[in-house]
Amino acid sequence: MENPEQPKHVRRKRYKGTHPKAFHEKYKELNPDKYTTDIAKIQEQGKTPAGMHRSICVDEIMEFLNISPGQTGMDATLGYGGHSLEMLKRLQPGGRLFATDVDSIELPKTEQRLRNLGYPADTLIIRKMNFSEIDAIVAESGPLNFVLADLGVSSMQIDNPDRGFSFKVEGPLDLRLNPHNGQPASELLNTISQNKLEEILVLNSDEPYAHEIAETIIDKVLAGEKIETTTHLRNIITETLGFIPKAQRKDEVKKSCQRVFQALRIEVNNEFDVLDKFLEKLPDALASEGRVAILSFHSGEDRRVKKSFQRLFREGIYREVAPDPIRPSAQECNSNPRARSAKLRWAIKA
């Protein structure tokens, strides 16, 4: 006789073939604490397990930040918490790390993971907020000895088809870092003008076929076609670029898909405006000799960081800035291909 107090065992849904392919079927990768050996094997193959994220340029960032016990710092983009964990190790005893993120889905998971490792609320202070509000953090923390901002999208966001960040798998065309706030990309595409869409594709990702892609999308919308999914948009881009010679077409379509999704993500999350506000507030947030490191992943971000750092250096607000961006090592790029586009810039306040 069954005990009514015992929860009923639910059999795991089976998948087709010998290995799970869909994100939600990858039960081992989605339970890394339980399947540590399997996770290690996946990482050794240069892959990122589903639902996880591998932090980039960790050694380079930690070497520059030169964190000491008792300092106060900020991880402006908490994400999976890999960078934060390394900072926390160096801050003890007596240090404090403030961390912010807008992702209402991943933030609670990361917080629980770090709390389970023994970092209490008075050592690790987590706030669900945009890093452009760094002045609100400083009102609570006081001047910061160091700040890190990793501007990349986390792997767990990209890999989850429900988030709509990847053109490779079917999912809702969302692209919001906080899916409970703002306008999804599908809604944007179904209401925008052709000129504005073309402008977004050029300014946000330097898309060479911006005119052709924007024209096709708006023609379809005006004809009553609703663009609601990632694969629908990918198919439209593929159709639009059918004039490219067959030998180059596959590669060009892939690059344009990457750029279009990037441009839409930047737009729906207002990423450039957020970064500009953060960069303007940053000097007032740093203590004297405070250090900031910013990891960017495309030219639009890197240009903003570079120009801000150089301008403030000329004005004497920063005493030193990175002469050139630091790139991930060849070894890191081989083991984690998502690191290849990363650029790290740093500055030290006077």
- pLDDT value at position 335? 84
What span, in angstroms and rounded, lies between the C-alpha atoms of 304 and 319?
A: 19
**What is the model's pLDDT at position 285?**
98
User: What's residue 270's pLDDT?
Assistant: 94
Residue 163 has what pLDDT?
A: 84
Q: Which two tokens stand for residue 337?
A: 């291909």
Helices H / strands E in the chain, number of each = 14, 7
Question: How many Cβ atoms from other residues are within 10 Å of residue 237's Cβ?
Answer: 23
Q: For each successive 10 residues of the chain (350 residues), what is the average pLDDT?
A: 55 58 48 54 53 80 96 95 95 96 91 94 96 97 97 80 85 91 93 96 95 97 94 96 95 95 94 96 98 94 96 97 94 86 96
Quick one: which H or E segment has residue 117? none
Q: What pLDDT sits at residue 153?
A: 82
The half-sphere exposure of 42 on its side-chain side, counting CA atoms within 13 A, is 19
CA–CA separation, 295 and 54 (whole Å): 14
Q: What is the DSSP letter of 25?
A: G
Q: Nearest-CA neighbor of 88 among 101, 104, 76, 71? A: 71
CB-based contact 117:126 (threshold 8 Å):
no
The pLDDT, as a whole number, for residue 198 is 97
Phi, psi of 326 (to 5 degrees): -90, 130
Domains along the sequence of the chain with CATH:
58-155+272-349 (3.40.50.150), 178-268 (1.10.150)
What pLDDT does 165 receive? 80
Amino acid letter for position 225: E
pTM of the model: 0.84
195-204 contact pairs (CB < 8 A, 24+): 200/263, 200/264, 200/266, 200/267, 201/259, 201/260, 201/263, 203/263, 203/300, 204/262, 204/263, 204/264, 204/266, 204/267, 204/272, 204/300
